[in-house]
């Protein structure tokens, strides 16, 4: 399970789009070349440099709340990508194992899907949805460069302004072109890493929800075929065969359910620190960017912040929406089990069905940091927390102005 992928072997993986994107930005090695490790170090070093550069800028402008918060918003955005990259690099084997487990999970019910067009449509729809979601989010994130990168040249021509952190110690005079290029490259790379990992986990959760939906339909279609039961005792043997077949089908459904539950527990262990990192940084970045969009006197800063504002909220919403899909589809398994034709089934079928219903009624929750449940309610609470910090910054700004 922990065998590393190569670029060629990833072609058949369910997560190939996500894996190859993360490989291109220096996170997921799909090569055994030593040169790739050097590439990883360079990417990580760029993120560290961004933090050092931003820290120096904040230390020079800490009395100017507007300037300090703008730099801090960039630092937190880039820092989030760096922390996620660190989590991945620390334990790459778990991510390779997770990708292979996803492949196994999708193939778990492939036989049932191949014989039922409705089930096959659910799986194919989920895969198309994840591909569009990943590509759309990455393209939207890359489009922010069209707003942020040229804005200092357009809004402040001739002033030698930088896109993110200004070098106040030398008024942007030393290595201006190099600094401008490095800030653009770091901003693009770290944003792609951060959103790329969010899309990876959102993709997996959508695929898991689709597998639960398939399972719910399989359970709901369980029927005891007793078409000849009314002809007398001579049909008892045929009825017994029908009960045996239905019971075997139920056992297969229970095995599939157990495999999905095991995978969700494993996914929670891998995703939990990444989700917690994103939640914390999104709250901080959201309040800082909203503060800039509201109180900044520089129109170019306002335009940049308004265009960027949906991103921290969108990253959190990805997790909460996809995790809530799993919760809803897990509940649907219990409902489908109750609605199938268990009344006419034999006692062993009913006992097995009670076990399935009892387990399916337990909430299937994913957590951030193993303590914070990920669902739609969590999204609303995080938005409220971000707005509370924004209101606090607004009060501090009014007091400093007076």
Residue 115 DSSP label: T
389: closest CA among 255, 287, 252, 311? 287
pLDDT band at 342 (very low <50, low <70, confident <90, very high): confident
Q: Which residues pair with 372 in a beta bridge?
A: 368
- Is the model's pLDDT at 296 over the cut of 90? no
Angle at 209 between CA 331 and CA 364, to 5 degrees: 45
Report the pLDDT value the prediction gives residue 239, as an integer from 0 to 100: 64
Segment holding 356, helix H or strand E: helix 347-360
Least confident piece of the model among 101-110, 166-175, 217-226: 217-226
pLDDT band at 119 (very low <50, low <70, confident <90, very high): very high
Give long-range contacts, CB 8 A cutoff, 24+ apart: 337-342.
337/219, 337/220, 339/220, 340/219, 340/220, 340/221, 340/222, 340/223, 341/222, 341/223, 341/224, 342/222
> How many Cβ atoms sit within 10 Å of the Cβ of residue 370?
10
Report the pLDDT value the prediction gives residue 259, as an integer from 0 to 100: 95
Report the pLDDT value the prediction gives residue 158, as an integer from 0 to 100: 86
> How many Cβ atoms sit within 10 Å of the Cβ of residue 124?
12
Segment holding 368, helix H or strand E: strand 367-368
Angular region, 232: left φ>0, alpha ψ -120 to 50, beta rest: left
Report the pLDDT value the prediction gives residue 229, as an integer from 0 to 100: 45
Report the pLDDT value the prediction gives residue 368, as an integer from 0 to 100: 94
Q: How far apart are CA 98 and CA 107, in angstroms?
A: 14
221-237 pLDDT tens trace: 887 665 544 444 545 56
* Cβ burial, residue 357 (10 Å; 0-12/13-18/19+): middle
Report the pLDDT value the prediction gives residue 216, as an integer from 0 to 100: 93
Residue 373 DSSP label: E
pTM of the model: 0.92
CA separation, residue 291 to residues 50, 79, 149, 156, 193 (Å): 22, 19, 21, 21, 25
Cβ distance 172 to 166 under 8 Å?
yes
DSSP annotation string for 133-193:
HHHHHHHHHHHHHHHHTTHHHHHSTTS---SS---TTTTT-TTHHHHHHHHHHHHHHHHHH
In 3-state terms the chain splits into helix, strand, coil percentages (rounded to 5) of 80, 0, 20
Question: Could you tell me which residue, 42 or 63, shows the higher pLDDT?
Answer: 42
Report the Cα 10 to chain-centroid distance in Å.
Answer: 20
Report the pLDDT value the prediction gives residue 155, as an integer from 0 to 100: 87
- Is the model's pLDDT at 257 over the cut of 80? yes
Report the pLDDT value the prediction gives residue 237, as an integer from 0 to 100: 60
Least confident piece of the model among 165-179, 190-204, 343-357: 343-357
Q: How far apart are CA 53 and CA 75, in angstroms?
A: 9
Report the pLDDT value the prediction gives residue 234, as an integer from 0 to 100: 47
Q: How far apart are CA 152 and CA 158, in angstroms?
A: 9
Q: Which residues pair with 373 in a beta bridge?
A: 367
Helix axes of 176-220 and 65-90: crossing angle, nearest 10 degrees: 60
Report the pLDDT value the prediction gives residue 224, as an integer from 0 to 100: 65
Report the pLDDT value the prediction gives residue 398, as an integer from 0 to 100: 81
**What's the residue count for the chain?**
402
Provide the percentage of residues in the chain whose pLDDT is more than 70: 95
- The average confidence (pLDDT) of the chain is 89
Q: How far apart are CA 355 and CA 247, in angstroms?
A: 13
């Amino acid at each position: 399970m922990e065998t590393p992928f190569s670029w060629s072997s990833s072609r058949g993986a369910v997560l190939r789009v996500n894996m190859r994107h993360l490989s291109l930005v220096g996170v997921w090695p799909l090569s055994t070349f030593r040169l790739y490790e050097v590439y990883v170090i360079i990417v990580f070093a760029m993120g560290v440099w961004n933090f050092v550069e931003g820290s120096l800028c904040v230390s020079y402008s800490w009395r100017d709340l507007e300037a300090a918060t703008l730099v801090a918003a960039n630092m937190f955005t880039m820092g989030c990508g760096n922390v996620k990259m660190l989590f991945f690099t620390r334990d790459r084997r778990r991510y390779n194992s997770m990708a292979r487990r996803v492949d196994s999970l999708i193939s778990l019910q492939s036989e049932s899907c191949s014989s039922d067009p409705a089930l096959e449509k659910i799986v194919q729809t989920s895969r198309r949805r994840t591909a569009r979601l990943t590509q759309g989010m990455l393209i939207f994130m890359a489009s922010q460069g069209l707003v942020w990168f040229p804005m200092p040249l357009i809004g402040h021509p001739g002033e030698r302004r930088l896109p993110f952190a200004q070098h106040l110690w030398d008024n942007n005079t030393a290595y201006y072109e190099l600094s401008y290029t490095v800030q653009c490259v770091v901003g693009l790379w770290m944003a792609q890493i951060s959103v790329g990992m969010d899309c990876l986990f959102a993709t997996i959760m959508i695929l898991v929800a689709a597998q639960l939906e398939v399972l719910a339909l399989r359970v709901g279609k369980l029927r005891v075929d007793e078409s000849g039961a009314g002809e007398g005792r001579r049909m008892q043997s045929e009825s017994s065969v029908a009960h045996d077949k239905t019971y075997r089908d139920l056992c297969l459904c229970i095995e599939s359910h157990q495999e999905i539950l095991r995978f969700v527990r494993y996914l929670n262990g891998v995703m939990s620190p990444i989700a917690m990192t994103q939640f914390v940084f999104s709250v901080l970045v959201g309040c800082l960017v909203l503060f800039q969009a509201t109180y900044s006197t520089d129109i170019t800063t306002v335009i940049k912040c308004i265009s960027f504002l949906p991103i921290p909220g969108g990253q959190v919403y990805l997790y909460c929406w996809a995790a809530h899909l799993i919760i809803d589809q897990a509940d649907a398994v219990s409902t489908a089990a109750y609605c199938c034709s268990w009344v006419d089934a034999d006692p062993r079928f009913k006992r097995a069905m009670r076990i399935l219903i009892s387990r399916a009624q337990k909430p299937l929750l994913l957590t951030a940091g193993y303590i914070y449940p990920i669902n739609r309610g969590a999204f609303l609470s995080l938005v409220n927390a971000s707005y509370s910090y924004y209101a606090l910054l607004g009060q501090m700004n009014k007091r400093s102005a007076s």
